[in-house]
Amino acid sequence: MCGRLSQYRGIHDFVDALSMPDALTNDVGDQPLAHYNVAPSTSVAVFTPGYARWLRWGWRPHWAQDRAPPINARLEKVAHSPFYRAIWGQRLLVPIDGWFEWVDEGEAKKQPYYIHRRDGLPTFCAGIGQWRGAEDDGFVIITADSVGGMVDIHDRRPVALAPELARAWLNPDADKTQAEQMLLNLGEPAEAFHWYRVDKAVGNVRNQGAALLRPIEPMS
């Protein structure tokens, strides 16, 4: 996952798709988010237990100040990595409309692709993070190996959870072993997603707007 996503619906649209049984404290607002080209180190709307809140994309432990904050954590290592030990039990969801990947197709600049669910519903990405109101708060998205045709776009993909599992992932009563098994065995398959070429303007993080999501050739 190269590190660019879209999050343009309103938070209530994401809540409705998630079918949350209990009300959330909404610190994000009621208007459409209208973020079509979200870059790392910026604030992203996330769900933590009981809350919809803004949180910076990227996190590192206090003892790793000599490196840039990672934005993704590998599924294969995250549950047992000393790097993420402090936040492994602090689960969150990143509700997105889709994400971008760049593919080397032999041109001077890599070709961006937009990836989203085939059924048009939001994608709920599994994440972990810290939200204690401190300067070093942030989150990472958990990624897994790509499978099927998605391998041709990128070798990694976010772990996406169907609504029922997404709610279980967000449940603070789920223990760490249960959480790891959700990631290992129950993520959404590649067949649930569709991808297509989009304009290279998305490469500039200052560019925004729905035009960035339009295909530049007929969808396959």
CATH number at residue 34: 3.90.1680.10
Q: What is the mean pLDDT of residues 18-35?
A: 91
The answer to whether residue 219 sits within a structural domain is no
Which residues belong to the active site?
A: 2, 101
The answer to whether residue 175 sits within a structural domain is yes
On the 0-12 / 13-18 / 19+ scale of CB atoms within 10 A, 18 is buried
Indicate the number of domains in the chain. Answer: 1
Q: Which domain holds residue 141?
A: 5-213
44-61 pLDDT tens trace? 999 999 999 999 999 999
The answer to whether residue 93 sits within a structural domain is yes
SS3 100: strand
- What's residue 146's pLDDT? 67
Start-to-end Cα distance in the chain: 21
The answer to whether residue 112 sits within a structural domain is yes
d(CA 40, CA 3): 6
